Amino acid sequence: MSSTSTVQDFTVYVGNVAPEVSKELIYELFVQICPLKKIRYPKDRILNTYQGFAFVEFYSTDDAEYACKCLNNSVRLFGRTLKVRKANGTSSSGVDSASQQNALAVGAKLFVKNVDELVDAQGLAKIFAKFGPLVKAPEIFSLKQLRCAFVYYTTFEHSDKALAKLNNQMVMNKCITVDYALKDGSKIEKHGDEIERLLDAEAAKHQIKLGS
């Protein structure tokens, strides 16, 4: 291990893990790619059930990166596609792009409805940035003759504040509604659920950036 390397450089984050998946199954899957050093698969202390994510430590950075390339979005276990990313949030594709993707993966994504025609993305960003840093500029689009937008925060702490303060408030000449956006591919399941918040809290505790 070089003097600049850390445990996180050798570790991958495994997300979207079904509760039926055992630690042994995770081992059997990843050991086919490279030799493993350690697996951490947290359980809820009260319910004694797995929390839906794991950390797999390898013996080198190259092994960790190779595991990400081989397994991310390519393996389904019990109906769920595994999300595999470097635990330190970096990859060979570039730090800036990876950092943004990691922040987006938190799930602090708001859906804003009934945006006034006079409000552009920059104006919307100024309003929402008062409650915390944004991952990127808001995305404005039309939906059923209404002007809407997606706003992305880095943490649920900031998105919760924005939702509480701005929902049903007048912005220019229209009353906007603010809620958590639907998850990709779902018509009912929204971002901001308990699982996403647990993952965000666990990642923050260990100073790990989540990958999507």
Q: Which pLDDT tens digit goes with each residue over 164-186?
A: 999 999 999 999 999 999 887 77
Confidence (pLDDT) at 106? 59
Q: Is residue 1 included in any domain, yes or no?
A: no
At 132, is the pLDDT very low, low, confident or very high (cuts 50, 70, 90)? very high
Question: pLDDT for 68-116, tens place per residue?
Answer: 999 988 888 888 889 998 876 544 443 344 444 444 455 789 999 999 9
Exposed, middle or buried, 49 (CB in 10 Å: 0-12/13-18/19+)? exposed
Among 86, 112, 145, identify where a domain stops.
86
Percent of the chain with pLDDT over 90: 46
Q: Are residues 34 and 132 in the same domain?
A: no
Q: Is residue 117 included in any domain, yes or no?
A: yes
Q: Are 63 and 35 in contact (CB under 8 A)?
A: yes
CATH code: domain of residue 48 = 3.30.70.330
Q: Are residues 39 and 129 in the same domain?
A: no
Least trusted range by pLDDT, from 10-24, 37-51, 150-164: 37-51
Q: Are residues 181 and 144 in the same domain?
A: yes
Integer Cα distance of 154 and 100 in angstroms = 9
Q: Is residue 154 included in any domain, yes or no?
A: yes
Q: Are residues 70 and 153 in the same domain?
A: no
Q: Are residues 117 and 192 in the same domain?
A: yes
Q: Are residues 67 and 132 in the same domain?
A: no
Q: Are residues 50 and 111 in the same domain?
A: no
Q: Give the CA angle between residues 45, 49, 54 to the nearest 5°.
A: 95
Q: Are residues 70 and 109 in the same domain?
A: no
Integer Cα distance of 19 and 80 in angstroms = 10
Among 27, 52, 86, identify where a domain stops.
86
Q: Is residue 50 included in any domain, yes or no?
A: yes
Average pLDDT over every residue of 31-41? 90
Q: Is residue 6 included in any domain, yes or no?
A: no
Which domain, by its residues, includes 33?
11-86
Q: Are residues 145 and 206 in the same domain?
A: yes
Q: Is residue 151 included in any domain, yes or no?
A: yes
- Any idea how long the chain is? 212
Q: Is residue 2 included in any domain, yes or no?
A: no
Q: Is residue 94 included in any domain, yes or no?
A: no
At 118, is the pLDDT very low, low, confident or very high (cuts 50, 70, 90)? very high
Q: Are residues 185 and 124 in the same domain?
A: yes
pLDDT at 134 over 60: yes
At 138, is the pLDDT very low, low, confident or very high (cuts 50, 70, 90)? very high
Average pLDDT over every residue of 190-211? 67
Count: domains in the chain: 2
Task: Please give the mean pLDDT across all residues of the chain.
Answer: 82
Q: Are residues 109 and 80 in the same domain?
A: no
Q: Are residues 112 and 195 in the same domain?
A: yes
Least trusted range by pLDDT, from 17-21, 115-119, 153-157, 197-201: 197-201
Average pLDDT over every residue of 144-157? 91
Name the pTM for this structure.
0.53
